[in-house]
Amino acid sequence: MWIKNQALDGNYVRLEPLMMLHVSALQEAVKDGEYWRLWYASVPKPDDISDYVAKAIEQAKQGEVAYAVIDKRINTVVGTTRYYNVDGPNKRAAIGYTWYANSVRRSPINTESKLLLLSNLFESCNAVAVEFNTHFFNQTSRAAIERLGAKLDGILRAHKIMKDGSLRDTAVYSIIASEWPTVRNNLEYKLYEHV
């Protein structure tokens, strides 16, 4: 596999490969904020977490790597994220399926999680590009992706059929290898601001 299924450790956060033992903690985390109620988000309901984790583990056989996000300050699972659309021969992957408990929003958790994921891809895996996808109407997600330093590549119109039957226009962003040093500096500075 191009991307190793291993833990990534920072000062504020630890990303552990997702396992069934994380289910109950994720069920508690997802209740904090109830983001599954947002029509444009793909956050699972508490009762769907077990299937969500089982599917992520199954997709690991195709090279995806899903993580439980652990807030090291309180040693608690606060969300999840993953590498998907992994294309080893072309050295590209997407980062997504990211959601957090409301209590850790505007904390260093997402910034350091993305720093760890991007560092692993660009520095350990020699990625050419990393992609982020989100619903066109998910302004919170789009703003967070743009704060990372990703650039909008375009909008894929009528890209996916949502659970409610509506069509999702997908905003596609990327960071390419030549941009990584600047993006890394920006993320490290954002973390320094939290100290």
Domain count, the chain: 1
Is 154 part of a structural domain of the chain? Answer: yes
Q: Using one digit for the tens of pLDDT, what is the confidence trace for 104-144?
A: 988 999 999 999 999 999 999 999 999 999 999 999 999 99
Give the CA dihedral 24, 114, 103, 76, nearest 10 degrees.
40
Residue 59 confidence (pLDDT): 93
Is 2 part of a structural domain of the chain? Answer: no
Query: What's the predicted TM-score (pTM) here?
Result: 0.95
Distance between alpha carbon 87 and the CA centroid of its chain, in Å?
17
pLDDT at 194 over 90: no
pLDDT at 30 over 80: yes
Structure tokens at 59: 């997709």
Is 13 part of a structural domain of the chain? Answer: yes
Is 1 part of a structural domain of the chain? Answer: no
What is the average per-residue pLDDT within 1-19?
A: 96
- Name the average pLDDT for the chain: 95
Q: Using one digit for the tens of pLDDT, what is the confidence trace for 48-102?
A: 999 999 999 999 888 999 999 999 999 999 999 999 999 999 999 999 999 999 9
Residue 61 confidence (pLDDT): 87
Is 110 part of a structural domain of the chain? Answer: yes
What is the average per-residue pLDDT within 6-14?
A: 97
Q: How far apart are CA 26 and CA 101, in angstroms?
A: 9
Q: How confident is the model at residue 195 (pLDDT cuts 50, 70, 90)?
A: low
Domain that holds residue 78: 8-193
Is 91 part of a structural domain of the chain? Answer: yes
Is 104 part of a structural domain of the chain? Answer: yes
Q: CA geometry: angle at 9 spanning 8 and 10, to 5°? A: 130
- 111: CATH: 3.40.630.30
Residue 138 confidence (pLDDT): 94
Closest to 57 (Cα-Cα) out of 97, 29, 91: 97
- Which amino acid, residue 35? Y
Q: Tell me if residue 187 falls in helix, strand or coil.
A: helix
Q: How confident is the model at residue 176 (pLDDT cuts 50, 70, 90)?
A: very high
